[in-house]
Structure 1
Amino acid sequence: MRTELAIALPPGYRTEDVLAFHSRDAEAIAEQVGPEGLRKGVLLDGTPVVLEVGFKPDEARCTVDADGELTPPLLELAREALLNILGLRIDPAAFAAFVRDDPALGPVVARQPGLRIIQSATVFEALTWAIIGQQINLPFAISLRRTFIGLAGRRHTSGLWCYPEASDVARLELEALTSRKFSRAKAETLLRLARLVADGEVKLDRERPVADFVRELLAVKGIGPWTVNYALLRGYGYPDCSLEGDVAVRTAFHRLLGGEARPDIPTAQRLLERYAPHRTMAAAYLWASLSEQAG
């Protein structure tokens, strides 16, 4: 069943950032990106769904294509996923005003106005991607993600693979992952998390207090503060994630502020504190500053 909906886009919306984020996998098994739009496959409440987005100057024209009945609750899940993949959770204007006179990030924001945090379609996708990608290079992480989708996801009738939900991952055996280049620790953490979420012991409800989400995740063996903050950023669109443990954030501070060595984690935490309650956007612009320097 298919339905269409339109989502308004703010002035200055950076379509190119959305397309770049969702085109990281060159094999495009779960995301297909073209010059004017994208298609994203995801399992929502057990149903394979493809989200199609076409960009117009002031709105995103979206189609929700479900393999089955498109009930009102499923349509609401799809709409929430669309807000995520379009990066519409955090308005960057507040951060731009906050750092207008900041010597480190003020100039970066001035050069790149309107930067947004593009998110994964679901909180579970953000969490599992954080676990998959931690402490390995990006091409290898993308390859593992592709394997993960093939093992636990399902194909939509259109042929696009759909990113799995917790219940799909919970059914996997450890060897299914470790025999395909996942480290044992990474595989165990993915399965442990999926089973806790599937059993309702860890709840990924967006409406819950952030403190409850953080407490539950930190109690899961293999999940630390960096993973939790990344999930808050890419899953919830939480505006005040502190990513002092992120190597790229600390590298960006080093390049922007100078000094003999890259800041350690406690120093980076202190540097980020001055951007509260907008530390998520601070991380986004720190990452963007590295891309500027690379260019």
Structure 2
Amino acid sequence: MSTQTLSLALPPQYRVDEVLAFHARDAEGLAEQVSGRTLRKAVLLGGVPLLFTVDFLDDEARCRIEADGELDAATQVLAGEALRSMLALRIDPAPFAAFVRGDVFFGPLVEHLPGLRIVQSATVFEALTWAIIGQQINLPFAISLRRSFIGQAGRPHSSGLWCYPEAADVARLALDTLTSRKFSRAKAETLLRVARMAADGELDLRLNDDPQGSAAQLLAIKGIGPWTVNYTLLRGYGYADCSLEGDVAVRSAIGRAQGMAEKPSIAQAQAWLAAYAPHRTMAAAYLWASL
């Protein structure tokens, strides 16, 4: 086993409880566990099972990374990127707060919830597959399917936690392995399609600064629509201007903000969100929080 320790400074108004709550959504704790102010999460990176143990102090996060294998330089880089994502350190909320100062809707929300952040998934592949799993189903069922997905395609770390799988692990699954565990055929086919494309190098899921390019390559894949793309850009890449007009909760919050009797249409929500570019990711975060 190889180990690495590092500390990350936490910015002012960092909301530890909300970051921990995000990682504690699966009460069974198959791949993530939260105890007090400590987070443990297992994930495969470069084929190596890693366990992140993060202790949150007042102004820093101290992390121990334990690898069931060699923690080489390339894996250390991947681990550092994963940690920044898991701790919601990719998107600075300050520019949005300045942008909406005086805004009738967002101004009071930001004052009430200063420093709100969006947690990213450890990898882009995790974000993409979670978006596919969660399409058009309720959150408890989505979490149950995610747990099953990890158990089928992931691998256990020596600590006992299961690692979220990489593309190559998912690509080896048979279709009926998923459909026999309550995945719809369409959802299973899309998961296997993106996994095999990523494993073969046809789909590039490395972090980058090209949201338009990332969106275009994802939209070209059968079974992936605009909501999945924008959710992946938000949770996976950590882009600051993702427009979530296709999200039901976002539309509900917009409707409530507008005093509408029903949710606005996707086109209406898109038009409303356009006023908050280039900060629409943080707009989505506060819209979710407003509910």
Q: CA deviation at 1:208?
A: 5.4
- State the partner residue of 2:81: 80
SS in 2 for 1:214: helix
User: For residue 275 of structure 2, what is the amino acid of its counterpart?
Assistant: R
Q: Percent identity?
A: 67
Q: Distance in 2 between matches of 1:272 and 1:37?
A: 36
Report the CA distance between 1:205 and its aligned residue: 1.3
| Matched residue, 1:182 | 183
Q: What TM-score results when the alignment is normalised by the length of structure 2? A: 0.98
Do the aligned residues in 2 keep the contact of 1:2 with 1:66 (CA within 8 Å)?
Answer: yes
Q: Which amino acid aligns with 1:48?
A: P
Of the structure 1 ranges 201-210 and 18-27, higher mean CA displacement relative to structure 2 is found in 201-210
Equivalent runs, 1:56-67 vs 2, <5 Å: 56-67=57-68
* Matching residue's letter, 1:156: H
Residue pair 1:117, 1:281 contacting (<8 A) in 2 also: yes
Specify the alignment match of 1:92 in structure 2: 93
Q: How many residues align?
A: 290
Instruction: Report the Cα offset of residue 212 of structure 1.
Output: 1.8
**Structure 1 counterpart SS, 2:130:** helix
Q: Distance in 2 between matches of 1:256 and 1:34?
A: 36
Q: Is the 8 A contact 1:250 1:268 kept in 2?
A: yes
| Contact 1:105–1:285 under 8 Å retained in 2 | yes
Secondary structure of the residue aligned to 1:267 is helix
* 3-state SS in 1 of match to 2:74: helix
CA contact (8 A) 1:104 1:257 kept: no
**Aligned residue in 1 for 2:171:** 170
Aligned counterparts of 2:220 and 2:258: Cα–Cα separation in 1: 35
| In 1: Cα distance, 2:219 partner to 2:262 partner | 30
| Cα shift readout 1:160-219 (whole Å, capped 9, x = no counterpart) | 100000000000000000011000000000000000010111101112522221111111
Over 6 Å off, 4+ runs: none
**Residue 38 of structure 2 contacts residue 55 of structure 2 at CA under 8 Å; is this kept in 1?**
yes
1:267 corresponds to which residue?
Answer: 268
Residue in 1 aligned with 2:36? 35
1:105 corresponding residue in structure 2: 106
**Matched residue type, 1:64:** I
Q: TM-score, normalised by structure 1?
A: 0.97
Question: Does 2:279 correspond to 1:278?
Answer: yes
Whether the 8 Å CA contact 2:82–2:122 is kept in 1: the answer is: yes
Please give the root-mean-square deviation of Cα atoms over the aligned residues, in Å.
0.7
| Contact 1:153/1:162 (<8 A) preserved | yes
Q: Any stretches of 5+ residues in structure 1 without a counterpart?
A: 291-295
